Structure 1
Amino acid sequence: MTHRRDFVKQVGLLAAAACVQPELLLAAPVAYKAGIQLYSLRDYIGQDAKGVLAKVAKAGYQEVETYGYSPEKHYWGLKPTEFKAVLAGNGLTTPSGHYDLGAYLREGNEALLDTTIAAAKACGQQYVIVPYLDEKLRATPADFRAIAAKLNKAGARCKSAGLRLGYHNHDFEFKPIGGTTLYDVMLKETDPKLVDFEMDIYWVVRAGQDPIKLMQAHPKRFPLWHVKDMDKAKPDLNTEVGSGSIDYRKIMAYAGTAGLKHAVMEQENFSLDAYQSIAQSAAYMRKNLLGALKKA
């Protein structure tokens, strides 16, 4: 039994600790939500977006990341507010989306950026992610610096609209050119207050890099991850999370270092039924990766 004197003492200790480290009162572990990049289901979603989203929720996902938005077709025929409503009806939200900003990065097309920001806000997203960079834009270190400057500018526009800009990697960002790499330059020359990174862990490993070392070298820069596993026999292929060669249990221990907020499963090819596959990955993620960590 706790006596009143002990209780008062404990409260006093907590209050003193809170004055020094107020975050201690908010340090309870918060489970991450399981997310999916809808590109995984690109063969299906254009035919029946509402049906696919219902199946995604049934498979165990709580968040979705979009791709392929256009002002003409919107989100697979659904306008942003309609898309948001369909998500809500299935217990889903969309924290992030991949948007083709090539015309902005090539030509400074700010109208495209404005359209993108408006769509992302209307469906409830917090992150606008650059998913790819044209090869012509990344030929020299000078190109790398120019891209970083444009990302900073776009990040400022996103920030003023209440959003965050992010960049999603493949493996080409780690190719040495002129004594450096695109990823090194972007990490060093983009402003952390304006530009985040979505680490595609599969592509980092495929490039021969160590995702944990990147997180340690650049803490809090990676609030989003693509949790994509590598087939053990054929590393150029994906497989269900937990079945491949990437040790996600070990990597997940560094979620706080990375500043992780959203873990997004993506699988670009399947050896079994797609819905069975994504359900298997969701189950593994929720049981083994997402439940016992403190959110950054």
Structure 2
Amino acid sequence: MIKRRDFLISTGLALGALAIAPSFAFAAKKKSIGIQLWTLRDTLPKDVKGVLELVRKAGFNEVETFGYSVDKGFFGTSVTDFKSILDDNGLKATSNHFDFNLMIKNGSTDLVQNYIETANQLGSNYITVPYIVSELRGTTADDYKKLALHINKVGELCKAGGLKLAYHNHDFEFTKFGSTNGYEILLNETDKNLVDFEMDLYWVVRAGHDPLELFKEHPGRFKMWHVKDMDKVNPDFNAQIGTGTIDFKAIFAQAELSGMKRFFLEHESNYIPNPIESAAASYNYIKNNLI
């Protein structure tokens, strides 16, 4: 099984019903249900066309990409052909996870310009920073402040290219530095006009934090979410949405406060069942219970 990190290196909780209803209806209704294609990482590289057809049949109409290579496009499928397959299935790649580790390492923005061209060719809204390797993100508060400077620089390039930049978290960003942590530093040191955040709800909860508190502290900053549940027995495992421990109804009720414009279902590398069937089951739960 491909592991995301190895891949990137190598290429108020409960509210009263009356209080919830207006915010919930306004914020979540008519939202598209997207899928981060990493969920289908074992099959997508082998059959891009076939897997995207299954994504469409499951009900999704937005995708978030991963795995782009300047030389090979998306798993050997050119950007032009990939866009054509998406169009044929009524899918839009609204966000793209691209690898920024090399840019942060050597300071070159050549690759960023290629990402911008690719995202615009796909008709995307966002370029997203998915994961920074440990040796580049550092181990101190100052390291995270330097990382924020890099992110702002990319945000400027994205804005000039007609796109928006987002930062996707894991759990390591919540490493404490005195009274703060890496995630708070990134939120405070990045320019709100240049950088949005794609909150991975699972990783926030897994790190021992409350998404709703972050919404209150940084309203409107989390324009995208990753939606995946936490297994009731082993928190290291994901679960189909609605079968785990995360209270998504309370979270979706505060979508407006968060600033959420779109979200992507994701089952990560610690997820066991059949990927497309599990994704379809999670899609149905979201459609019937959350939006």
Task: Work out whether the TM-score is over 0.5.
Answer: yes
Residue 155 (structure 2) pairs with residue 155 (structure 1): yes
In structure 2, what is the Cα distance between the partners aligned to 1:136 and 1:52?
34
Residue 239 (structure 2) pairs with residue 239 (structure 1): yes
Counterpart of 1:19 in structure 2 is none
The worse-fitting range, judged by mean Cα deviation, of 174-183 and 140-149 is 174-183
Letter in 1 for 2:147: I
What is the aligned-residue RMSD (CA, Å)?
A: 1.4
Is residue 27–residue 253 contact of structure 2 (8 Å, CA) maintained in 1? no
CA 1:57–1:259 in 2, change beyond 3 Å: closer, same or farther? same
Letter in 2 for 1:88: D
In structure 2, what is the Cα distance between the partners aligned to 1:29 and 1:266?
18
Counterpart of 1:44 in structure 2 is 43
Unaligned 5+ segments in structure 1 are 1-26, 291-296
* 3-state SS of 1:109 partner: coil
In structure 2, what is the Cα distance between the partners aligned to 1:236 and 1:187?
26
Trace 1:19-30 onto structure 2 (pairs within 5 A): 30=29
Larger Rg: 1
Q: Per-residue CA shift, 1:180-205, capped at 9, x if unaligned?
A: 31111110010110001000000000
Counterpart of 2:5 in structure 1 is none
Q: Structure 2-normalised TM-score? A: 0.88
In structure 1, what is the Cα distance between the partners aligned to 2:108 and 2:283?
38
Counterpart of 2:98 in structure 1 is 99
Counterpart of 1:31 in structure 2 is 30
* 3-state SS of 2:287 partner: helix
The worse-fitting range, judged by mean Cα deviation, of 114-123 and 173-182 is 173-182
* 3-state SS of 1:96 partner: strand
Is residue 116–residue 158 contact of structure 2 (8 Å, CA) maintained in 1? yes
In structure 1, what is the Cα distance between the partners aligned to 2:273 and 2:226?
21
Counterpart of 2:119 in structure 1 is 120
Counterpart of 1:203 in structure 2 is 203
Letter in 1 for 2:289: N
Counterpart of 1:109 in structure 2 is 108
CA 1:170–1:270 in 2, change beyond 3 Å: closer, same or farther? closer
CA 1:131–1:217 in 2, change beyond 3 Å: closer, same or farther? same
Moved over 6 A (4+): none
Is residue 232–residue 245 contact of structure 2 (8 Å, CA) maintained in 1? yes
The worse-fitting range, judged by mean Cα deviation, of 47-56 and 145-154 is 145-154
Unaligned 5+ segments in structure 2 are 1-25
Residue 277 (structure 2) pairs with residue 264 (structure 1): no
CA 1:64–1:141 in 2, change beyond 3 Å: closer, same or farther? same
Is residue 229–residue 242 contact of structure 1 (8 Å, CA) maintained in 2? yes
Is residue 231–residue 237 contact of structure 1 (8 Å, CA) maintained in 2? yes
Counterpart of 1:275 in structure 2 is 276
Trace 1:64-75 onto structure 2 (pairs within 5 A): 64-75=63-74
Query: Structure 1 residue 30: deviation in Å?
Result: 4.5
The percentage of counterpart residues that share the same residue type is: 46
Is residue 53–residue 89 contact of structure 2 (8 Å, CA) maintained in 1? yes
Is residue 199–residue 224 contact of structure 2 (8 Å, CA) maintained in 1? yes
Letter in 1 for 2:114: T
Counterpart of 2:134 in structure 1 is 135
Q: Per-residue CA shift, 1:131-161, capped at 9, x if unaligned?
A: 1112122211111111111111110110011
The worse-fitting range, judged by mean Cα deviation, of 264-273 and 186-195 is 264-273
In structure 1, what is the Cα distance between the partners aligned to 2:171 and 2:217?
18
Which has the bigger relative contact order, CA under 8 A and spacing at least 6?
2
